[in-house]
Amino acid sequence: MDKGVVLRPARGVPPGRIIKRELDARGWTQKDLAAIMERPPKTINGIIRGYKQITPETALQLADAFGTSPELWLNLEANYRLYQARREHQKSDVARKGYLYSLAPISEMIKRGWLRATDSIADLEQQFRSFMEISSLDAQPPLAARFRISSAREPETNAQRVWIQRVKHLAQGQTVSPYDPERLRKALPTLLACASYAEDAAKIPHLLQSLGVYFVIVPHPPHTHLDGAAFKIEGHPVVALTLRYDRIDNFWFTLLHELAHIVADHQGFYLDSLDKRDGDETEHEANQMATQWLIAREELDAFVRSTRPYFSRKKILAFASRHNRCPGIILGQLHYHYKKDVPSSHLRSLLVKVKPYFQERLDTVGPIYRAPAP
């Protein structure tokens, strides 16, 4: 047998059960035993039912009454109480785990390497507090952000908090230049010049970092329905994307949507105190700005009017070339604004994937966050 293995009984045997068997074997009643031990019947009943413990004195009396050793009764009592204590401890651990798992997608965090797998609930709680930078599980990290989320689904807010916290950790590991809002505005044409060819999307991270803007890609945890977010760390903007839809049109629109929040100086919100009206207004403004930056709406409208009803690949490519835009970006705008004329199934081969350009920046399974406990 492996000496390192500790064997424990599957269940504890109540001493009262053994006492009852001894009584039955002798044809005694509880009152008979009480008389023999000169103890109140209520005490004997309490021992048999398990809510009174066997003391050393009681163990000696039971040994005399049944012709056994006192150690038998003391060991039975100790083993049973230890079994009960373990059960209560396990219940406590189960409750703590249940509460922790209700706060965040713990399994997903372990899968991604953001937390370390452990059998200790105390250790897991400590890791989670360190990751979230909170002093207690009931606290919320004081981080406000603008989130671009699917409006058709109800997201899991706790998972979004975890996602944005991971974004923050990765951003803090980057080095960026000093940030100047005016400099960012003037650099927009340079950024948009990268929208001419799909592969030029790979230039965006370096350009943003040179402008003092952190750029992070963290795939969305399940049920968050996140596309991106914008917030600030010590005065520096952070642009975060999930690439939930791995398409050139979605990449550029989400990127510019988040940059619009920064340029317009929209304030972030806390996930549990979102003013929906303010969110709708600023989200609409950011959408309009992103659309205009990608392709002026009047230009797109004119193209649609002159091209109806046949939107051939050749015509879309020519229009995209005239405006120095990747064809997939133009097609994405047509799909969104002119669904009846250009259904989403039309020419989808133009919607090239962008993840291949960001393989080194995709945070799928990252290192465990090891911040000191707050």
At residue 236, the 3 state secondary structure works out as: strand
Given this model, what pLDDT does residue 81 score?
A: 87
Q: Residue 242: how many CA atoms within 13 Å on its side-chain side?
A: 21
- Cβ atoms of 283 and 205 within 8 Å: the answer is no
Given this model, what pLDDT does residue 54 score?
A: 94
**Which pair of structure tokens corresponds to residue 34?**
């009480």
What is the sign, positive or negative, of the torsion defined by CA atoms of 144, 149, 152, 153? negative
Q: Is the pTM of this model over 0.85?
A: no
In tens, the pLDDT along 198-256 reads: 999 999 999 999 999 999 999 988 888 889 999 998 899 999 999 999 999 999 999 99
Given this model, what pLDDT does residue 158 score?
A: 87
Sorted by where each begins, the domain ranges of the chain are 15-101, 146-358
- Cβ atoms of 239 and 255 within 8 Å: the answer is yes
- Cβ atoms of 286 and 266 within 8 Å: the answer is yes
Given this model, what pLDDT does residue 146 score?
A: 65
* CATH classification code of 15-101: 1.10.260.40
Closest CA to 282 of 167, 146, 110: 146
- Where the chain has pLDDT below 50, the residues are 1-10, 269-278, 369-374
**Which pair of structure tokens corresponds to residue 43?**
């005490």
Given this model, what pLDDT does residue 147 score?
A: 67
Given this model, what pLDDT does residue 258 score?
A: 94
- Cβ atoms of 133 and 141 within 8 Å: the answer is yes
Given this model, what pLDDT does residue 274 score?
A: 34
Given this model, what pLDDT does residue 4 score?
A: 42
Given this model, what pLDDT does residue 234 score?
A: 87
